[in-house]
Amino acid sequence: MNKGPKRPLTPTYIVFYILFAPDTWRILGGFLLAIFLTPYVVKPDMALVARTMLYVMVAAIGWAFCGKPAQWIAAGLKKAFLGKSSL
């Protein structure tokens, strides 16, 4: 069951793994949408719990909304860094 030598986990490998993962870009998109759009929806009399829940909900909607753009970004970065053989 030995599949050969394992590659060491280097910081460079981790950075590029994060950079090429579509979920990284989905999370970033959801976070940015929550940061920039939620203040327009929050009412002054909202409790902290309600305000926090609103940020989480907008972030989740942004995460779902950024699915295709995240795939395009990750594929473009792979193509730019690794060339056509990576796709």
> Residue ranges per domain, the chain?
22-75
* Whether the model pTM is above 0.85: no
Find out whether 65 and 34 touch, Cβ atoms under 8 Å: no
pLDDT of the residue at 85: 63
- In the chain, count H helices and then E strands: 4, 0
**N-to-C CA span, the chain:** 29
* Regions of the chain short of the pLDDT cut 70: 1-5, 85-87
pLDDT of the residue at 87: 56
Q: Could you tell me how many residues make up the chain?
A: 87
pLDDT of the residue at 50: 95
Buried b (16+ CB within 10 A) or exposed e, 1-30: eeeeeeeeeeeeeeeeeeebebebbbbebb
